[in-house]
Amino acid sequence: MDDQLFNSICTRETLYSAWLRVKEKNTSGGIDFKTVNDYAVTVDQNLEELTRQLQSGSYIQHPYREVMIPKNETEKRRLGLLTVNDKIVQTAVTMVITPILEQGFLKVSYDYREKKGAVKAINQVRHLITNERYTWLAACDIDNFFDTIPHDALFGKLSAYLKSPSTTELIRMFVKMGRVDRHYHWKDSRKGIPQGGVVSPLLANFYLYPLDKIMVEHGYGFVRYADDCAPRTTPMVGVDAMMMMEEGPPNSVCRN
C-alpha cells in the first residue's frame, strides 16, 4: 500500500507506543468490558494481530459503548467508550496526524492541545483586557457541537489536508461507527463525532480552524477553549470581566 502516512500508523513501533499511552491512562473499557490489565496479559500477540489487521485492511473497530454522564443539573452528556484495542488504534492515528494538523492551528485555540489549557486561556484574556484594552466580552458556546458536526464537511476538509486516503478512511470509520447502549440497542452515527473517542478532540479543533482564522483576520481579541465560542452571540457591554473568568474558561473578547 503506497500511503506513507497510513503505513507509519501501522508499524509495530507506533502501535506499541500507543499501547503505552493507553496503559498509562488506564481508563474504562468498551463494549467487551476488557480492562488494560486484561489486555496486558497477551499484549504481544494482541499487537501482532492488530498490526496484521491494519496492514491487510481487515481491521474493523468495535461499536462504542454508550454511557450517559451528568453535564449539569438538567442535562446529560453522551460518551462513547472504546475497547482497549480500538483505543490503541485511535491513539496511534492521533500520534501520527497531530503534528501535521498542528502546523495549521492558530494560537487562539487553547483546549486539547499540548502546552495550552485553561490557565493559559485565562491569562490571555487578562492580557487582552489589561494590556490591549479590550472592554467588551462575549461568552459564547456552540450548542451540541460534538454531536452535530456534519460528516461530509469534516471529511472533505480532512481528506484534502492529509492527502492520505487510507488514513482518512480509517478516521471515517472511527467517526461513523455506531454505538450500543446499556440495553444493547444499536444506534447509528449519522452526524457528529463521538465524545470519548481518542481522535475526537483533534478533529474538533481541526473543524473549528476556519472560525479561528476568520476571527483573527478581522482583528478580534479571540480566545477559544474547545467549542466555547461562537460569533453569533451579541457582546455583553459592561460585564465585570474578572468575575466572568472566575466562572470558567473564557471564550472570546471583542473590542469596543
Mean pLDDT for 40-69 is 97
The DSSP-derived string for 123-185 is HHHHHHHHTS---EEE----TTHHHH--HHHHHHHHHHHH--HHHHHHHHHHHH--EE-TT--
User: Can you give the pTM of this predicted structure?
Assistant: 0.84
Radius of gyration over alpha carbons of the chain, in Å? 20
Q: Which three cell numbers stand for residue 139?
A: 461568552
Query: Where does the pLDDT of residue 230 fall: very low under 50, low under 70, confident under 90, or very high at 90 and above?
Result: very low
Is the model's pLDDT at 116 over the cut of 50? yes
**Listed residue (82, 84, 114) closest to 21, CA to CA:** 84
CA–CA separation, 210 and 222 (whole Å): 13
pLDDT at residue number 256:
38
**Listed residue (62, 158, 125) closest to 253, CA to CA:** 125
pLDDT over 70, % of the chain: 88
Query: Where does the pLDDT of residue 229 fall: very low under 50, low under 70, confident under 90, or very high at 90 and above?
Result: low
**Listed residue (163, 160, 198) closest to 61, CA to CA:** 198
